[in-house]
Amino acid sequence: MEKQVVDGLREVFQSGRSRPLQYRKQQLRALHHLISERQADIEQALKQDLNRNTYNTSLFELISIENDIKLAESDMADWAAPQPVKKNLNSALDDVYIKPEPLGVVLIIGTWNYPWAMILQPLVGAIAAGNAAVLKPSELSEHSARLMKELLPLYLDKEMYQVVTGGVSETQELLKQRFDHIFYTGSSVVGKLVMEAAAHHLTPVTLELGGKSPCYIDKNCDIAVACRRITWGKFANCGQTCIAPDYILCEPNIQDRIVEEIQKTLLEFYQKDPKSSPDYCRIINTRHFDRVLALMNECTIALGGESDRSQCYIAPTVLGDVLPHFKIMQEEIFGPLLPIVTVNGLSEAIHFINAREKPLALYVFSSDKTVIKRMLAETTSGGVTVNDVLMHYTVDTLPFGGVGNSGMGRYHGRHTFNQLSHHRACLIKSFAMESLNDARYPPLTAARLRKAKFFMQHRLCSLIISTTAAQLLIP
């Protein structure tokens, strides 16, 4: 079945249906209609999957999808236009440019923690770039997956965009097919399997993975504000966010103050009983509940720790004096547990971060510009936010993606379009002035080589494409 789906999409794609920009804009508008007209259905599905309420669904998923759609619709013509490049003297009379082209059929494999955004945001870029797409939502967020399969054919061209549901076996069967790009969001473990399968067809991949995103709190900062922002980013969606602060690094003498400020903030955000708060989500299923709970075994609970397996509920929990060899420090937590690891100053914090896999996100809180500059200069990560958390994700002009073990490739806004396009190098030459080419033809001489070297090494500043070529090439 999966082969029939992919072959069918490829046949329609090769007919040229998605080449015109007007077609792509129509599909983006239809996707926007899906979000706006069926918002209540999406909210209900997420309530069933993650116990997420209406406001959090809009804040963490739907607004970002709508923003990406509007941006792509307004800027797509500019993104898809031929891009002039600088020329050397050898190509001075030629038209030289980069032409973004659709790749073909794209596979988008989503994840369960943000099941709509992690599928539809890449889809926006795929549509804008002119690709066909197969969407594979996670089976763990089953209500969202079922609804997506039901709704998408009602709004989008079902001969160009299809949803395939199911579990591991269906995903494995999809990965056997030849795609022109695979866009995967999820764990590093599965990311390696996706990359291995893609290698069979030499298919390029975008891997949006995760890891342990560190959060360094300098003693020279507004600790109350820092803890308020960290508490929001860590415990939103019950800690099931790939760029949530995974652990705190701080000096021992401010650890108690940090716990105290987080406790105050939790009371403000979720009142005395987070379990009854409409803003507090649940762990996705009992398997993940058991995994997260087991991570606390060696730890000292400074705050929280309550749980209820029947509801997949784990309270917002802070763990103090966590040591680097503890199990909780060996894997991404992906739950509402916040370990505090104490370090003796900035240099030790930097060493601690650099001794581990490159994280998807890095957070530093400080009022000292020297501290900030050192942290930025001496570490690396997919993205970084200073004096806040998560917010770099919301800026659509910034590329979002990992480095090393936290992923490869990038997306959001124009970056998604570029990631899912082929950037074709183009040079158009006339038949005139053939004598200028003598320097490269045999019989080669020292004089001809000097002439060729001169023409190839000197650049022109002109970025002009001939009007005729531009008219021919803009869709």
Spatial separation of the C-alpha atoms in residues 307 and 136, rounded to whole Å: 32
Contact 389, 436 (CB under 8 A): no
Tokens at residue 437, please?
Answer: 């080419």
Is 242 part of the annotated catalytic residue set? yes
Distance CA 40, CA 208 (A): 28
Q: Which residues make Cβ contacts (< 8 Å) with residue 278, sequence separation at least 6?
A: 53
User: Which residue in 43, 61, 208, 261 is the catalytic one?
Assistant: 208
DSSP 65-90: HHHHHHHHHHHHHHHHS-EE--EEGG
Tell me, what DSSP letter sits at residue 360?
Answer: S
Residue 163 near residue 137, CB atoms below 8 Å: yes
Set 221, 238, 242, 312: catalytic member: 242
Cα 148 → chain centroid: 20
E strands present in 141-234 = 161-163, 181-185, 205-208, 214-217
Report whether 317 contacts 297 (CB < 8 A): no
Q: Which residue from 204, 205, 103 is spatially nearest to 420, judged by alpha carbons?
A: 103
CA 159 to chain centre: 26
What is the amino acid identity at position 143? H
Give dist(CA 329, CA 321) in Å, integer: 12
Max CA pair span of the chain: 87
Enter the tokens of residue 233.
Answer: 């980013």
Cβ(289)–Cβ(309) below 8 Å: yes
- Cα–Cα distance for residue pair 225/208, rounded to 1 Å: 30
How does DSSP classify residue 413?
Answer: T
Helices (DSSP H) in 222-365: which residue ranges? 223-235, 255-270, 286-294, 346-354
Q: Which residue has the tokens 């396009």?
A: 421
Contact 135, 164 (CB under 8 A): yes
**Tokens representing 215?**
């959060």
Burial of 468 (0-12, 13-18, 19+ CB in 10 A): exposed
Residues forming the active site = 208, 242
